[in-house]
């Protein structure tokens, strides 16, 4: 599952939804904080980047995770997996506005 606009550095909101005993998380932080760049004054506001989550019980032969920084506040993350000899690439991209 691909997720955008995720908080995972100081407080990992993914842990509330996807327990780590059942899921693996692949997190791609942006280089700069979106809230700082856009001068958002709400102290509770936080976006660290994008994430991909996959069930641990999946019989995956190979996993590779990559982060591509498109700008200081834009990135995409890619998870390439090989499952039963079939390669699948999952990509999450979010363009902050």
Tens-digit pLDDT string for the chain (97 aa)? 888 889 999 899 999 999 989 999 999 999 988 888 889 999 888 889 999 999 887 788 899 999 999 888 888 899 999 988 899 898 887 655 5
Count H helices and E strands in the chain, helices first.
2, 6
Q: Domain count for the chain, please give it.
A: 1
What is the domain extent for residue 70?
2-94
For the question of whether the overall pTM of this predicted structure is more than 0.85, the answer is no
C-alpha closest to that of 60 among 94, 26, 87: 87
User: What is the rounded distance in angstroms from the CA atom of residue 46 to the CA atom of residue 89?
Assistant: 28
User: What is the rounded distance in angstroms from the CA atom of residue 61 to the CA atom of residue 3?
Assistant: 23
């Amino acid at each position: 599952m691909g997720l955008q606009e995720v908080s995972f550095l100081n407080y990992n909101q993914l842990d509330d939804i996807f327990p780590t005993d059942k899921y693996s998380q692949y997190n791609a932080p942006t280089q700069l904080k979106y809230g700082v760049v856009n001068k958002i004054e709400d102290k509770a506001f936080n976006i660290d980047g994008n994430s991909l989550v996959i069930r641990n019980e999946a019989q995956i032969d190979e996993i590779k995770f990559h982060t591509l920084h498109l700008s200081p506040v834009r990135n995409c993350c890619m998870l390439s997996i090989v499952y039963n000899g079939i390669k699948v690439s999952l990509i999450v991209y979010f363009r902050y506005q």
